[in-house]
Amino acid sequence: MEQGPLEEMIRAEANDEIEEDLTQRFLERIRKEKRSVTELIGHEIREEALRFGSSWARQLLGVRAENALVRGEIVRSDEIKQEAIGRWSFPDGEAEDLEMSVERARTLVLISEAVQYAVDRPYAQLGRVVARTFDFGLESGKTYTGQVISYLPPEDDDDVPLWRIRHVDGDEEDLDKYELVHAYYKLEQFQETRSRARRREFRGTENDGRRRRRKRSKKNSSKRWRKYKKCSS
């Protein structure tokens, strides 16, 4: 069957070199990121709304607060304190300059750079796994994984590109470029947190086993010693 232009584009983008893919392995890249704080000035960034205060975000945004992003730009830096100052435009119309650590600033800049990569290769995102956090009352803050199933290109100048996500429970939602890349980043955080929990659980089980073995060994040793004393007397 002959492929059309769209299929050829999807195939070509999916075959891009993985080393160039800024939307993958965020945590590894963030650990290696060493740009100075002054090099971060001027970058447009997005930050999770909950980081500015969970009560404020939930009151203003409701159930959308778990995944909502606040637009900002790094406008100044303080090299002595190793801080960056972001100018944030909040959904209620207010704007404020707030400090952040240089490590957080580097992370947000790297995510913003990955956004451009996704925009340049929209069809290469198909099939990739994401993570989103939702607030469903008793299940507040629960993270769900999903998969990118389609790309919805802008239909006119006022539209923005969107990617449709299907979650494991079958629900679907459309994400813009910033939401998509933050969902990639959240997936890596989620996987690392789950991996750390498994390692802690394994170490706990292993230590319990060692304690039980030591206890049995000590008990058997005292039994042998009593038998030996009886035989020797």
pLDDT value for 18: 41
When pLDDT is averaged across residues 149-162 and rounded to a whole number, the result is 91
User: Quick check: 57 and 49 in contact, CB under 8 A?
Assistant: yes
Provide the total of helices (H) and of strands (E) in the chain, helices listed first: 5, 8
Q: How far is CA 82 from the centre of its chain?
A: 24
pLDDT in tens, 94-111: 999 999 999 899 989 988
**What own/partner pairs with CB < 8 Å and gap ≥ 24 does 68-72 have?**
69/178, 69/179, 69/182, 70/46, 71/44, 71/45, 71/46, 72/44, 72/45, 72/46, 72/47
Neighbours of 230 (CB within 10 A): 8
pLDDT for 54 equals 83
Q: Model pTM?
A: 0.71
- Burial class, 126, CB count within 10 angstroms (exposed 0-12 / middle 13-18 / buried 19+): middle
Q: What is the pLDDT of residue 27?
A: 63
The DSSP symbol for 170 reads: S
In angstroms, the CA 199 to CA 211 distance is 18
Place of tokens 């049995």: 216
Tell me the average pLDDT across 53-57: 86
How confident is the model at residue 4, as a pLDDT? Answer: 54
Which pLDDT tens digit goes with each residue over 189-230? 888 887 777 777 766 665 655 666 665 555 555 554 444 344
Cα–Cα distance, 142 to 147 (Å, whole number): 17
Predicted confidence at residue 86, as pLDDT, reads: 95
- Using one digit for the tens of pLDDT, what is the confidence trace for 161-182? 999 999 988 989 999 999 999 9
20 falls in which pLDDT band (50, 70, 90)? Answer: very low
Hey, which bits of the chain come out as E strands? 44-48, 69-78, 83-89, 95-101, 129-134, 142-152, 162-167, 172-175
Least Cα distance to 118 among 174, 173, 179 occurs for 179
**Bridge partners, residue 129, by sequence:** 147
